[in-house]
Structures are given as C-alpha cells and as structure tokens.
Amino acid sequence: MARMKFLCDAERCIECNGCVTACKNENEVPWGVNRRRVVTINDGVVGAEKSISVACMHCSDAPCMAVCPVDCFYRTDDGVVLHDKDLCIGCGYCFYACPFGAPQFPQAGAFGLRGKMDKCTFCAGGPEADRSEAEFKKYGRNRLAEGKLPACAEMCSTKALLGGDGDVIADIYRERVLRRGKGADLWGWSSAYGLPGQKPGAQPVQPQPQPSSGKS
C-alpha cells in the first residue's frame, strides 16, 4: 500500500524556488497563498547554509485533523491528508496546530477577511469529481488521478525534493547518503511520521549500550 510522503534533502536544495513556482503554476494558487516555500538557515554563512522546501507533510498523525472543530479533514487511502473547503470555517486552529506552518488563509476579501484554509494537497485534488473544473478551482490539479506525482517534486532540478511512497523515496535517499557518505538527517520526518503512539516531535529511541561482561 502506497503511503505518500515528502522528503527534502538539505544537502541538495539550492534554494532555487523551482518547487514553489511549480506549485503556484500547476495549482493556480491565489496571490498571498503559498502552499510550499523554501526556508534557509545560516543564510550567507559559508559551509553552514542549508535550505529546505517546506509544505504540508501529510503527517501520519496529523495535528490539524485533531484540532479541526468542524472535522473537515480526511485521509485518503494513499495517506494524503486533505480537507473539504465546503466545511472549513477558516478558524485558523489548524494553522496553530501544524508544526510546519502549512495551512494558508487567503485574505483577499474585504477588510482582510480570512478565507477558507488552503494547503498542499500532494497534487491529489479534494472531495469533488476527479479532474473536474470544480476540483481544480477549489483544490488545484489532481495529478495523482493522472498517474503523476506532485509537480514540486517532479520539477525539482537537483532532485532535493522527493515525493511518493515512503518506502521508495526512503530507498532513493538511503542510496544517495551511502554514496556521498554524509547528510543523513531527514528534516521533519520524526515530527511528521513518528511511530504511532509517539508524541509528535519525539526523538527516536536510541539503542542502549550493552553492559560489558566485566572481565577487563
């Protein structure tokens, strides 16, 4: 069973914003809403600068689903977290709950009125007829229903951003790390895909050193 995830390789991301542009273009996201963005730390510091592309990570145990007062979130069989804009009241709770700042709120209405939440859909549309105009207008393009992967990942020039089944992209990343011999940190994975029952953001359990047999 496919379990769709995103993986961003901080060793490869060159902060080109190609993913951001691809997302904007593919889904015709309105002005002021950024489903994906690139975050850079240690900007300008030689050797320490790292960039990562951030959007909804489609968490295994999504906090947005837990806090939504109108229960407008659901998870598809592929593990993609989506929401129903017909139900959303734009309260903003999901924004506070999300560790990645993924939920976005258009403020194009009168007096900066906050509209319904918008976020990355893993290019999987939403609860409207697949590939229909209504789906495109509300949620963007449904590339999964076209047999394609999210535009951001497919467009990434350095293949820093990988999207797809967790097992497949983790294998790609593992081989990459083995070849280059460094950069095995997976940013955001423990927060987004931690083990069930584990608190979001908890660190993986480290193996305890075995006590020596004692005759030394």
Residues that bind other proteins (CB under 8 A): 1-2, 60-63, 65-66, 70-78, 82-84, 86-87, 124-131, 142, 144-149, 153-154, 159, 162-165, 168-169, 172, 175-176, 179, 196-197, 199-200
Least CB distance from residue 38 to other proteins, whole Å?
18
Residue with smaller CB distance to other proteins, 27 or 142: 142
Nearest to 139 by CA among 159, 119, 163: 119
Residue with smaller CB distance to other proteins, 13 or 62: 62
Least CB distance from residue 214 to other proteins, whole Å?
38
Number of H helices, E strands in the chain: 7, 6
Least CB distance from residue 65 to other proteins, whole Å?
5
Residue with smaller CB distance to other proteins, 3 or 107: 3
Least CB distance from residue 69 to other proteins, whole Å?
11
| Distance (Å, whole) CA 184 – CA 36 | 23
Task: Answer whether 120's CB lies under 8 Å from 56's CB.
Answer: yes
Task: Answer whether 135's CB lies under 8 Å from 128's CB.
Answer: yes
| Distance (Å, whole) CA 163 – CA 158 | 13
Q: Two tokens at 59?
A: 């968490």
